Amino acid sequence: MSTAETHVLAYPFPSSGHVIPLLDLTKALLSRGVQVTLLITPNNQPLLPTNFPPNLHTLILPEPLFPNPNQNRLVAIVTFMRQHHYPIILDWAQAQAQATPPSAILSDFFLGWTHLLARDLHVPRLVFSPSGAFALSVVYSLWRDLPRNDTPQGPNAVVSFPNLPNSPVFHWHQLTLQFTKPERGGPEWEFHRENILLNIDSHGVVFNSFNDLERVYLDHMKKELRHERVWAVGPVLPLSPLPEERGGSSTVSRHDIMGFLDSREDGSVVYVCFGSRTFLTSHQMEVLTRALELSGASFVLSVGVAKAKEHGKVPCGFVDRVGVRGRGFLIEGWAPQLEILGHRSVGAFLTHCGWNSVLEGLVSGVVMLTWPMGADQYTNAKLLVEELGVAVGAAEGEEKVPEAEELAKRIERALGRSTKERVRAEELRNAALRAVGEGGSSQKELDAMVKVLGEVKHEGDAT
């Protein structure tokens, strides 16, 4: 049957790091003739493409409000969406019954409650994971097995995952705060647990990953979920041409950034960025900037605009000493990351290891320096350093911050021309490009997913 009869509701969590990859996946579905209705909030409308294809529709939903400052931000946003978006989507779907009714919901990992919405709409719900298969395997195991730790601050407080491939071990502080911070059994903890269990019960899961990157964990996920509806369709990135704006505007022009990079030698620049939601402490910032100074390397340093007193600022005098637009370039605010990483002069990427940044680093073929801060980042760092061999460990949160001299040495190592990490970086870059190329594994997986959705709709029509 025609893919035009398949109508997917794409529902991201309303944060740019979640909206952007789901938008990229949406574009791939649209290119296959699938109808997509994007459920989006007003603040994220600027992320939408300017020229809508005819098979893309939007349903604008109320912006989440969380008036209680003491409530966890994630819990507040998701609770608002469940309470206020749910009835709007139901009413909208009923109005579509005579046109092209929804045939599936593709929703973010944080929106586990949409499994219940899909049940009310009599359609399957697919989980879109903003994390990789390794990270999600750890999270699913964590909430299923519910390990305890009576001494979370102890140096030997570790959690092992013997049922996962390679039996990974993590320190307690490396696990997601959603599991370790709330009181076990309390309302917030149970909220997160329900979200995970609803994700596990959903019809399938879609990863922004690819087989050659995480095959063993993708296979593990199929085994754990007891079905084959696990698709690795990534990296879902706009490799060419790059969009003018991808998530925000910068305080500096692309022309100036590219001019600086054009003046550098091939592979000589380290790009430093911790994502749009991570802010360094004063100590972390002092160590980082001192290390950049000591390393002698050229660099692009992207930092968020400090919004609270605990956020570290670039130390006074640093810019003057390294000579911005001389040896270093400072960006405050959004950075055109894909374009920077893809420049010939960038050889290393110091990153917090958010999954979007990991994938952008991989397709650019740069060596990564890992400095995870929370969420899935410790898991991603372990994958990059210990299993894939494509990265150098730089630091960990506030717990393991090396001396500036040591961090400088790690930066120098990451910029080395013939290291084992650089060889692996090139291998994985090629593997990523093969996966998304014509006939590649990710293209085949996406076709298989679309086929399953068409069959599900066909079965529903026949009943």
Taking CA atoms, 127 is separated from 100, 191, 391, in Å, by: 22, 17, 29
Q: Which residues pair with 58 in a beta bridge?
A: 38
Q: 154: how many CB neighbours lie within 10 A of its CB?
A: 11
Give the side-chain half-sphere CA count within 13 A for 17: 20
Residue labelled with tokens 């966890």: 72
> Catalytic pick from 7, 18, 220, 352?
18
Angle in degrees, CA 53, 57, 62, rounded to 5: 140
Report H helices in 208-267: 211-225, 254-262
Gyration radius from the chain CA atoms: 22
Is 145 annotated in the active site? no
Residue 42, SS3?
helix
Is 108 annotated in the active site? yes
Closest by Cα among 355, 303, 357 to 328: 303
Residue labelled with tokens 């939903």: 61
Report H helices in 181-253: 187-201, 211-225
> Catalytic pick from 7, 85, 108, 343?
108
Indicate the pairing of strand 204-207 with strand 125-129: parallel
Burial class (CB in 10 A: 0-12, 13-18, 19+), 434: middle
φ, ψ dihedrals at 232, nearest 5°: -105, 110
Active site residues: 18, 108
